Chains A and B, each alone.
Chain A
């Protein structure tokens, strides 16, 4: 996916102006998720869970080479074909070989953020393969040719009205069709796709090194169908998705479900163990593509590697009051919200993702929500500091900061500034920063006297009284 992250501020403002319905839809949906998460966290000793999950993830990330090799051995033993992809090009090569050899014409896809990173859909389409996204939300945005707006709920930004209109135009359903009727139409289209597809594509929530098991979580059943009906299944797995032991799933499956949707467990959990053997049903051919795409570089970053603990649950998006105003599109890359703001600079480059670490008030709600305690506020600050150190801050900001320092380093200048704030007519509409403040909030009105003057008056009064 081509990143447009550097346009974040403009895109956020434009979206709020032009599509006010998105704010309403996203706020409603995220608050709903957030309430469910809080309730689900409160039911269990969540601090213990989070600490354990963090410890397991940190352990895997510190021994990633070993666990990757172990996973590869187990997968090969099960007859899975294992590929290593540094980025989109290698991933595309794997698909190209399969499409050519098996004459693939139709593919069904389970929702996967990694395949968004890799541009799997446009690549398959360029080969003449018809691709069906089979997650309902993902299917909707595929029809609209929009990217996902949320890690878990890709169509979170759409209102029911928009979906009705889309289906009306596309399938001729009545404009007042019920959500159930709309889902029924999608089900019909997708069932047909499942039964006729030559290729199933998925991501994975976890890959267990000990057993070579792929674990996938979902609520619609489409992942199970995508990975079991077509004769070939390809799973794209980010290097950070490893878990050491099968028993680790006992913690990570419920923790992810509680964080993501407030469920105790997702409706479906598929544990995939390789191609079908004699007499079994399932795919003849299973491929696991282990994808780096910036992850080893991030792992080597002593200040930012903790980002790789991410389970892609979306809890930080739901908790984020900034994300809630716009949804994910203005962020301009696959991952949005708080985790996107700290992951995207690592996966892309800071230059491309420059504005994202600033898309936050540092309120800390993301850290409270994160099931693996990624220190997102601290990471935001780290990326901001790096941006400044690399000279990416705009000129006006550097000048303002230099002036700010000069004034604040000198009490005499500070007092002069204080007088000017009251004595001089402020050019409130001339300075862009001041205008950005006053337009939405009215003129700045300082106290009649600053406290440091009131303090002197108080002290003089006390002196007289004594």
Chain B
């Protein structure tokens, strides 16, 4: 496995707001014998522009992202939403681009990469007894089909992933949606949080969801640890 080499795409939101997720992802991948590169020209995948309908701007960023990662055998992201942007939407945004199509097959969300490519389902026992609420980010779940991978990795590390009626419901972040329709966005967060089980930590693949949910919880005086999945997976390994 020493030959395996991945390029980490930290994604702009995690870079700015959950930097520790990147550190955790690098440590974890290296501990599993994977070489990790971080192409320093990377910025944003362009999803905010794409989702808002500004495809010209999105296309420019898609093209440069393809260039930045052109050497990578695998591109791994600690985000389901951005991974889906690269995997599913770049080929739509750049129709006829063989490069975008070929690239899309090399893109993985972190837990997806661990389970499906590395075949790793056990990282360690570092989460023994930890009660976890897992929020399924919509794009990880419905666009990438990542449902079991994070749960398997967490559970096998000893975590108790709590049943959560609204675990697969959208949290209301939705990128620009959160500021264009803030009242609806917050109502969605409140509905989601009103069903939150008695957990010690809330986690998810996506920085946007976590930023939105943790901000809402803090505003309402709730005090629960919120950690990106990558961080918990490193804890699973390192104890």
Contact = CB atoms under 8 A, between A and B. Distances in A.
Contacts of A445: 17
Interface stretch (A73-81, A176-184, A216-224, A380-388): A380-388
A451 B10 contact: yes
Interface in A361-404: 361-365, 367-368, 378, 381, 383-389, 393, 397-398, 401-402, 404
A405 B172 contact: no
Interface string B179-197: 1111111111101000000
B15 A384 contact: no
Interface string B82-101: 00000000001000000000
Nearest to B180: A358
B184 A325 contact: yes
Interface string B8-51: 00101011111111110010000000000010111110101111
Nearest to A450: B15
Interface stretch (A102-110, A307-315, A431-439): A431-439
Interface string A399-433: 00110110111110010001001000000000001
Nearest to B38: A455
A405 B50 CA distance: 11
B49 A451 contact: no
A174 interface: no
Interface stretch (A8-16, A47-55, A155-163, A266-274): A8-16
B216 A387 contact: no
B60 interface: yes
Given A321-B191, A388-B55, A447 B142 contact: no
B173 A361 contact: yes
Contacts of A407: 43
Query: On chain B, which size bracket covers the interface?
Result: 35 or more
A279 interface: no
Contacts of B183: 12-13, 16-17
A411 B41 contact: yes
Contacts of A383: 53
A439 to B, nearest CB: 7
Interface residues of A, number: 66
A361 B17 contact: no
Nearest to A357: B53
A295 interface: no
A381 B51 contact: yes
Nearest to B10: A451
A442 B186 contact: no
Contacts of A27: 191
B51 A384 contact: yes
B53 A386 contact: yes
Contacts of A411: 40-43
Given A363-B142, A409-B64, A325 B43 contact: no
A451 B14 contact: yes
Most buried by A among B10, B53, B138, B139: B53
B188 A321 contact: yes
Contacts of A408: 12, 43-44, 46, 61
A441 B212 contact: yes
Given A381-B50, A388-B54, 20 more contacts: A12-B184, A13-B184, A16-B183, A321-B169, A358-B181, A360-B174, A363-B174, A384-B51, A397-B54, A408-B43, A408-B61, A411-B40, A411-B43, A436-B180, A440-B189, A440-B219, A446-B17, A448-B19, A451-B10, A451-B19
Nearest 10 Cβ contacts at the A-B interface: A441-B215, A361-B174, A384-B53, A451-B22, A364-B142, A363-B170, A447-B19, A363-B138, A388-B53, A436-B179
Interface of B: 10, 12, 14-23, 26, 38, 40-44, 46, 48-55, 57, 60-61, 64, 92, 138-139, 141-143, 169-170, 172-175, 177-189, 191, 211-212, 215-216, 218-219
